[in-house]
A = this chain, B = another copy of it.
Amino acid sequence: MSQSQSKPPTPARRSEATRTAILDAARERFAADGYERATIRAIAKDANIDPSMVMRYYGNKEGLFAAAVAIDLKLPDPASFQRDEVGRALVTHFLAMWEENEVLTALLRVGATNQAGAERMRGIFGEQLLPLARRVCPDPEQAPARAALASSQLLGLALTRYVLRFPPAVALAREEVVAWLAPTVQRYLTAPHPA
């Protein structure tokens, strides 16, 4: 074992290529079809490998999904935000994240019909957006509600633009989306409680 460690420090497993090919194909299928219709067989075919490879590397379909949608929203350090620009910054950042790859679309599509997917979605927004809300919103006690409201607008846009594909929502330019949504998110996070 000391040998195996001295010889190839990282054997650069040639299986790594297969693993990522599977994950890429899985993300694409989950994003396009949702959980049930994204079959292991179809994913394997996309990745040009045998279905049993998926089982070997990820255990079962649930494990594959979990690995495929492990994601970090990569929100910048809350301290680095200008408080009155948080709305614009968030909307811009989310648009970039959604269009960068298909992970978030996959997560949303699956979350709509799958218990584990919904749980994962709650986790991501609860753990990553909530801390930021706590920082910028006036009363920390309102942070969960305010984060949820901001989520509702951000996810609603993603839903209409990337999942349901309402033509006018798809047609909007990025800057237009930002111009419209930034004040909304800003208000949800920092404005005084209405009424």
Chain A residues within 8 Å of B, Cβ to Cβ: 33-37, 108-109, 111-114, 118, 121-122, 125-126, 144-145, 147-149, 151-157, 159-161, 163-169, 171-172, 175-176, 179-181, 183-184, 187-188, 194-195
Contact = CB atoms under 8 A, between A and B. Distances in A.
Contact of A159 (B144, B149, B159, B180): B159
A168 B145 contact: yes
Given A125-B166, A152-B153, A156-B156, 13 more contacts: A108-B112, A118-B165, A145-B171, A145-B172, A148-B160, A148-B167, A148-B169, A148-B172, A152-B156, A152-B160, A156-B159, A159-B159, A184-B184
- Listed residue (A126, A155, A164) with the most chain B CB atoms within 10 angstroms of its CB: A164
A188 B159 CA distance: 17
Give the most central of A126, A171, A180: most B CB within 10 Å.
A180
Shortest 9 CB-CB contacts between residues of A and residues of B: A156-B156, A34-B113, A112-B112, A36-B36, A148-B168, A144-B168, A152-B156, A148-B169, A179-B194
A149 B121 CA distance: 22
A152 B154 CA distance: 8
**By CB atoms of chain B within 10 A, which of A114, A144, A184 has the most?**
A184
B168 A160 contact: no
A36 B169 contact: no
A111 B67 CA distance: 25
Contacts of A36: 34, 36-37, 113
Contacts of A194: 179-180, 183
Contacts of A108: 112
Contacts of A111: 163-164
A147 to B, nearest CB: 7
